[in-house]
Chain A
C-alpha cells in the first residue's frame, strides 16, 4: 500500500512539476495564450482539460489490449473528441456565458497535444489507475501554469482578480494605468516565457536525464 501511494505521488510530481506539460514540454501553448485574459475562463478551461485528460487516459488505458495498433491514433482521437464534445455540451448547458467566452477553445482541447501526448506516451503502456492519475497530474500541471498566467494578466491588464476590482481607486488617481498589452496575446507570451525561465532555473526544476 505504502508502495502504491509513493508510486502515485511519483506520477503526480512528474506531471505537475518535473515534466510540467507547459513549462517543460512546451505543449498546450496555444490555449494558454488564448484563454488566460481572465481567471474565470482559465479556471473553467483548466477543469475541462484536466477531466478530459484523466478520463481519456482511463478509457484508452482500459482498452489498450484491445486497440489494433494500426488504427490506434484514430481510436484515441475518437475517445478524446467524444469526451470534449460532451464537456462542451455540459458547459453550454450550465455555464453558458463562460462557454461563449471560451468559444472554440473548448473544442480545440481535441487538438491539445497534452492529451494525445499522454494517451500515446503513457496510457497505452500503463494500467488504467496509473493513467487516470497521470491525466490528473498533467491536467493540474497545465492548470497551474494557466492560472498563474491568468492571474498576472488579469491583475496587470484589467486590475481585477476573478472579475473583482482589486486595485484601489487612489492608485489609478496617482496615475497608474492598466497595461493594455497584458490583455493581448503578446502579454501571455512574456508571462509564459518568464514562468518557464523561473521554473527551469529553480533547483530541481529541470530533469537532467541523460539522453
Chain B
C-alpha cells in the first residue's frame, strides 16, 4: 500500500506527467475563457457604443438629470440631437470622411446647429485618456466635457471622470482678449487663485494628480489647435442660427 502511494507520488511529479497536466489545464481553461469572450463580445460592443453615445450627450448637456435612462431613450436623444460629421483641414464641414478629415459631432435641435463636440484622445499618466469636449455655437465657449475611458489612478487622476471636475469646464473660453487661441488648461489647485485674466482659461485641478492634469492640458491644446479651422468657421457666424443642412452643403 505504502509502496503504491510512493510510486503514485513520484509518477505525479515526473516530468512527463507535469508537462502533460500543465498543457491539459492550460487547454481546458483557455477554451473556457475564449468561449466566454467570444459569446459575450456582441454585448460588450453594444455597451461600449452606448457608453460613447451617453458620454457625447453628457458633454453636450443633453442628458436629463436624476432620471434612469434606458438604452432606447439614450438612442432617441442621440438620434435627434447629434450628427456625426467630418471636417477637412480648412474647417469645411463634410458629410463623408476624406483622407485627412477630422471627426466631429454637431449638436442640433430641430435642425438648428447649437454647437459641436470634439473628440479628445490624449496620453495620461498610465494610458490613453478618451473623452469629448463640447462647444457652443460661438466657437469659443466650452459647453461641457466628459471622459469615457482612461487608466488613471482611481481616487487621484481617476477623478477626471467625476462630475465636479467635468462641470468645471462649463463656460470656459478658449480665446483670450485678443482673439487668440489659448486653449483651456487644468490649473494646479483652484483656478480662482490665478490672475483674473487667466481664470477663464483654467479649470480647477485635482490634488495629487499633477501629471494627469498636465498631460490632459497638453492634449486639449493639441486637439484644439487641430480643430481651430472648424472653430473659426463657427466664430464667423457669430451667433446666427445655422440650419444643419446649410452648414453641411456650404
Contact = CB atoms under 8 A, between A and B. Distances in A.
Interface of A: 34, 66-71, 74-75, 78-79, 82, 85-86, 89-90, 92-94, 96, 100, 103-104, 184-185
Most buried by A among B18, B29, B33, B155: B29
B123 to A, nearest CB: 19
B158 to A, nearest CB: 8
Given A70-B18, A71-B18, A92 B12 contact: no
The 7 closest A-B pairs by CB, nearest first: A93-B43, A96-B47, A82-B29, A93-B40, A86-B36, A68-B18, A68-B12
A18 to B, nearest CB: 33
A85 B37 CA distance: 9
Interface string B43-57: 110010011000000
B177 interface: no
Interface centre among B12, B25, B44 (most CB of A within 10 A): B25
11 contacts: A67-B21, A68-B12, A71-B18, A75-B21, A75-B25, A82-B33, A86-B36, A89-B36, A96-B50, A184-B155, A185-B155
Contacts of A34: 154
Given A68-B12, A82-B29, A89 B18 contact: no
A152 B32 CA distance: 39
Interface in B92-137: none
Contacts of B51: 96, 100
B18 A92 contact: no
Contact of B21 (A71, A85, A96): A71
Contact of A92 (B22, B40, B50): B40
A94 B42 CA distance: 11
B13 interface: yes
A89 B40 contact: yes
A90 B43 CA distance: 10
A75 B22 contact: yes
B44 A92 contact: yes
B21 A68 contact: yes
Contacts of B18: 68, 70-71
A85 B26 CA distance: 14
A68 B25 CA distance: 12
A90 B13 contact: no
Contacts of A184: 155
A71 B155 contact: no
Contacts of A93: 40, 43-44, 47
A68 B44 contact: no
Contacts of A70: 13, 18
A100 B154 CA distance: 11
A74 B47 CA distance: 34
A100 B47 CA distance: 11
A86 B32 contact: yes
Nearest to A94: B43
B127 to A, nearest CB: 12
Given A89-B40, A93-B40, A96-B51, A68 B33 contact: no
B32 A68 contact: no
A89 B43 CA distance: 10
A68 B21 CA distance: 8
B154 A86 contact: no
A157 to B, nearest CB: 13
Contact of A90 (B9, B25, B29, B36): B36
Interface in B130-167: 154-155, 158
B29 A78 contact: yes
Contact of B22 (A74, A79, A90): A74
A68 B17 CA distance: 8
A92 B47 contact: yes
A69 B13 contact: yes
Contacts of A75: 21-22, 25
A184 B32 CA distance: 37
